[in-house]
């Protein structure tokens, strides 16, 4: 990404730079470098204003919502979610809608607004399954499992089992570790929970 960004700037190719910066924000967010992700997002916002190329704006708004939500600025996160959802619905951009709704659910989850988080996550899950987005489907099942664990209303285990299945199909040990931790928390037997947690811990240590 750094090499691509340097090349785009050397060529003064604004469209290329815009696309590279979208990926830059996504990667920094994925890595958990939230301050750097926020700065990269702000740089992308300035570039969009400079060029007038608004194509990546919805994706950026979703990313900024997630960044700010993870940093605890839930009001700003909600504002970005609102900005992202309207154009996504207008453009019938289902994949963007799934991302926006997922972020809405995550923000509600961070605020411990369990009812709102559950309702939005269920809506997002139906849409995610319709468009075939495996990763978002896994993330939403993780959320629904966490909500059930927090509220004690329902059975969380099937949600975490779905995540385990998807993790295997797309080869994601990050999702697999999360699925196993969830299963451990949802398992009633001490021995079963311990074995699941040990498997998850081994995966995390291997990733680290």
Taking residue 152's Cβ as centre, other Cβ atoms within 10 Å add up to: 7
pLDDT, residue 17, reads: 94
Read off the tokens for 25: 């924000």
Structure confidence at residue 74 as a pLDDT band (50, 70, 90)? confident
Question: Is residue 90 over pLDDT 80?
Answer: no
pLDDT for 5-34, tens place per residue? Answer: 999 999 999 999 999 999 999 999 988 899
Across 75-103, average pLDDT: 85
Of all residues in the chain, what percent carry a pLDDT higher than 90?
71
Structure confidence at residue 94 as a pLDDT band (50, 70, 90)? confident
Structure confidence at residue 151 as a pLDDT band (50, 70, 90)? very high
> What string of DSSP letters covers 75-123?
HHHHHHHHHHHHHHHHTT-HHHHHHHHHHHHHHHHHTT-HHHHHHHHHH
Residues 6+ apart with CB under 8 A from 40: 21, 24, 25, 28
Cα–Cα distance, 182 to 142 (Å, whole number): 8
> 114-131 and 134-151 are packed helices; what angle lies between their axes, rounded to 10 degrees?
160
Place of tokens 């495996």: 134
């Amino acid at each position: 990404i750094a090499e691509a960004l340097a090349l785009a700037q050397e060529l003064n190719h604004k469209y290329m730079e815009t696309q590279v910066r979208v990926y830059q924000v996504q990667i920094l967010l994925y890595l958990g470098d939230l301050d750097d992700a926020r700065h990269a997002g702000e740089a992308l916002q300035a570039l969009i204003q400079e060029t007038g190329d608004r194509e990546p704006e919805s994706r950026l708004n979703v990313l900024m919502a997630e960044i700010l939500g993870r940093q605890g600025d839930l009001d700003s996160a909600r504002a970005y979610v609102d900005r992202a959802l309207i154009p996504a619905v207008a453009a019938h951009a289902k994949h963007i809608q799934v991302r926006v709704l997922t972020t809405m659910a995550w923000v509600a989850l961070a605020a411990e607004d369990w009812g709102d988080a559950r309702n939005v996550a269920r809506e997002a899950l139906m849409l995610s399954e319709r468009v075939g987005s495996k990763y978002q489907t896994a993330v939403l099942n993780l959320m629904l499992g966490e909500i059930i664990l927090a509220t004690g209303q329902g059975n969380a285990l099937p949600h975490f089992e779905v995540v385990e299945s998807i993790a295997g199909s797309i080869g994601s040990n990050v999702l697999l570790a999360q699925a196993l931790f969830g299963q451990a928390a949802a398992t009633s037997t001490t021995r079963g929970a311990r074995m699941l947690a040990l498997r998850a811990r081994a995966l995390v240590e291997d990733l680290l």
